Structure 1
Amino acid sequence: MKIGIITFWSSKDNYGQLLQLFALQTFLKELGHEPFLIRYGFWKDDLISKLFKEYFLLPWRIPRAIKNKITERKVYKSNIVHERKFADFLSENILYTEQVYSTKELIQNPPAADCYITGSDQVWGALNPNPIFFLQFGSKESKRFSFAASFGDGNSFLKDRYIYKITSYLKGFDMVTVRDYKALEICKKAGINGCVLFPDPTLLIDMSNYNSLLSSNPGTDKYCLVYMLEEEQKTKIDMDDIAAFVKSIGIKMIYVASQGRFDKYIKQYPTIPQFLSYVKNADFVITNSFHGTVFSIMYHRKFAVIPKKGGNNTRVDTLLSQYGLQKHIAKKLPMIIAAYNDIVDWNLVDDINQKKKKETVALLKKVIGEE
């Protein structure tokens, strides 16, 4: 079966974005299907219309939009200077459409597929629900479902007005699966009572698939990998305290930052294979990233995840609760120390993953069949 995937794919510094796409394609291929990424370029849409809808009608968003644009420009310049070769990874490991589609182009002339998938990642996190990420295109005969989709964290706008907009979209799906408990609640409000909690695709493929990507071992010295996203003030523990902790345990710090994380500390800018190697060989991982947490678990690394301020951190809470690893959420510095000293039964974690994979495969076969 030909399966067209709609998800985020254009980042130059978000490792989880491309790794979840790699995992989803790998997982579907293992089931005998022919998945491909539909390169949706929402930036090709009419800018004036977009600005009107997002800012003129909602003027309270303008200050935040200006701040975000300044940060985006800074990130853009940084990614030019510190090239992480994400485009190379995409071309070497992902099947995708030659064309990059605007919304209008995708609705008028979509690539043919027997099935369309939206997700994983925070594909439903926009203030105004984007019909493309709700699969409002393509033949009516094609199957449609979401794969571990997420609405994102801390989106207070998910109220009745938003629910009303997405209800008609979701009712056209053959199956709705989401990544966290918050998304389950939202879908139930939209009348989708058959919504299912699905594992992120990065948890569903064998580690040999990731290991085949790995670059060389970063060295023999012990180190703590610190992988942080976004501005420092958005997380509950600052970098000075993290750096002091790493120094106190007598190992070096390898610091990888993405998506607008700028501070005084020396950073590394690895490719995706190098990033995986950093996680695999780390003595300890400190992160505020969902996928940083996922790969710490997959590689059986000791880890601590720092929650965001003001967000409900649903994705990480949902993930860790399924493994009984909630004590690895570190809201204060002593909790990082506790996470570092915790002994995890990784065999139990692997058993849970295998059970989730079997359940997921069985449900997918029921909905889209097996080639």
Structure 2
Amino acid sequence: MTKKIGLITYHSAYNFGSVLQALATQMTIKKLGYSTEIVDYRPTEGDYFYKHFFFRHQPLRFFITDLPTALVIPQRQLRQRRFEEFISRHIALSPGEYKEPEDLNVLHDTYSLMISGSDQIINKHSNELITVDWKYMDPYLLAWFDGPKISYASSPASMTDEELEKIAPQLRKFDELSAREQDAAGKLSKLTGRPVATVCDPTLLMDGKEWEQTVNLPVNRIEGDYVLYYSLKRPRVVFKEIMPQLKRLRDRTGCKIAIITPLAGFIPSTKGFVNCLDAGPAQFLSLVKHARTIITDSSHGTLFSINFRKPFWTLDENAQDSRKMQILSRIGLNSRIIPTINDVPDSFDSIDFGDSHEHIEHFRDHSIDYLRSAIEHALESSKKDA
């Protein structure tokens, strides 16, 4: 058996957080001294969701809602190419590409150890899994692998206790378990009857300088100060609710607004707005790094703002998103959560990140220690069982 460590996660989704967390996890394992590659599992359903402009299984109401995105097909095509170029350049993949759960059976003894995670890979309601049979969770639950198994920061997100019971037998077979959110760790611990560590999102395993050293950030194309608005809202919400608020923000601050709305498109027909829909992962990092401030409803938008020490505002109307609340509370920045864009002040204040980054460093060290210890323990146990 090779001494290589395998990793499986959402590495090929056209989602900034998914691709960047995959890269960060792989880089961290390499820094621990292990050879590693990501299993190039690209389920057909995921391909349909991210590569086709309209998801084949989405309800009719979503299809109608998403029709405005047809107006920006060229930008979406460029975005896709940039994602694939980024994956090809930065992520070490397995030689083969796999589409169906049973395809992975050929890898049952390929790796010394498998790591599953991060992202919502054990959430049946995630984009890749919501419309398909439960067997499509097996690749991420490592049902096909015979060796030691570790989870890193895998999130069940909105899974109910009844739904989690369906995957509990596979989870109990893992040598070590961890979760990204504290409440998720508690839920999984109760489910499996075992300790479940709380670890940081992989994007925090690397600080801003490490991200710049790892990814060759492209030159920022926006002149002067700008606010970066990054949202995962759909067209109806963006056009009816968000755009009026952004126009008011532009008028009262005199600042340009750069917009990334992957699920909504956006036609820049208004002065002072810059459409950044075609951004790939590298362009996204550059936009965050050079922004005067960031406004986002995305957890990873928030985390990269923190990593690059940029002033930010996190949108959460009811302050109920556990991912945002738990990490911001942990590092003392929950005051940066606001209900709407209208609550952004006219003057973009700075943030003293000193104490916050000290908390992040401790959390990062704890999470890396978990990975190191989990790998060493699992490999040692497998030697004894051999």
TM-score bracket for the superposition, by shorter chain length: 0.7 to 0.9
Structure 1 pair 33–71 and aligned structure 2 pair: CA distance change class (3 A): farther
**Are residue 368 (structure 1) and residue 375 (structure 2) matched?**
yes
**What displacement does 1:312 show?**
4.1
**The one of 71, 89, 92 aligned to 1:92:** 89
Cα distance per residue 1:185-207 (max 9 Å; x no partner): 32133134411111011111243
Structure 1 pair 84–229 and aligned structure 2 pair: CA distance change class (3 A): farther
CA contact (8 A) 1:287 1:305 kept: yes
**What displacement does 1:98 show?**
2.4
Q: Distance in 2 between matches of 1:10 and 1:226?
A: 24
Identity level (%): 25
Mean Cα deviation higher: 196-205 or 242-251 = 242-251
CA contact (8 A) 2:315 2:341 kept: no
Cα distance per residue 1:244-273 (max 9 Å; x no partner): 213311211111121x22345452122322
Per the alignment, residue 3 of structure 1 pairs with 5
Per the alignment, residue 262 of structure 1 pairs with 265
**What displacement does 1:317 show?**
1.3
CA contact (8 A) 2:246 2:257 kept: no
Per the alignment, residue 197 of structure 1 pairs with 198
Structure 1 pair 289–184 and aligned structure 2 pair: CA distance change class (3 A): same
Per the alignment, residue 322 of structure 1 pairs with 330
Mean Cα deviation higher: 80-89 or 267-276 = 80-89
Q: Distance in 1 between matches of 2:198 and 2:79?
A: 37
**The one of 304, 316, 326 aligned to 1:307:** 316
Mean Cα deviation higher: 282-291 or 326-335 = 326-335
Match of 2:251, SS state, is: helix
**What displacement does 1:137 show?**
1.4
Per the alignment, residue 55 of structure 1 pairs with none
Q: Distance in 2 between matches of 1:67 and 1:282?
A: 35
Aligned residue pair count: 346
**The one of 245, 258, 272 aligned to 1:241:** 245
**The one of 355, 363, 366 aligned to 1:356:** 363
**What displacement does 1:289 show?**
1.1
**The one of 92, 110, 113 aligned to 1:112:** 110
Structure 1 pair 138–69 and aligned structure 2 pair: CA distance change class (3 A): farther
Q: State the one-letter code of the partner of 1:214.
A: L
Cα distance per residue 1:19-45 (max 9 Å; x no partner): 111111111111111121111122179
Q: Distance in 1 between matches of 2:81 and 2:317?
A: 25
CA contact (8 A) 1:232 1:239 kept: no
Report the RMSD for the aligned CA atoms in angstroms: 3.0
Per the alignment, residue 257 of structure 2 pairs with 253
**What displacement does 1:135 show?**
1.4
**Are residue 150 (structure 1) and residue 152 (structure 2) matched?**
no
**What displacement does 1:87 show?**
0.7
**What displacement does 1:86 show?**
0.8
Q: Distance in 2 between matches of 1:116 and 1:308?
A: 38
Instruction: Extract unaligned runs of 5+ from structure 2.
Output: 49-55, 126-132, 269-273, 380-386
Per the alignment, residue 337 of structure 1 pairs with 345
Normalising by structure 2, we get a TM-score of 0.80
Q: Distance in 1 between matches of 2:151 and 2:362?
A: 20
Q: State the one-letter code of the partner of 2:275.
A: K
Q: Distance in 1 between matches of 2:116 and 2:4?
A: 14
Match of 1:238, SS state, is: helix
Q: Distance in 2 between matches of 1:330 and 1:220?
A: 28
Q: Distance in 2 between matches of 1:116 and 1:243?
A: 48
Per the alignment, residue 121 of structure 2 pairs with 123
Q: State the one-letter code of the partner of 1:364.
A: L
Instruction: Extract unaligned runs of 5+ from structure 1.
Output: 48-61
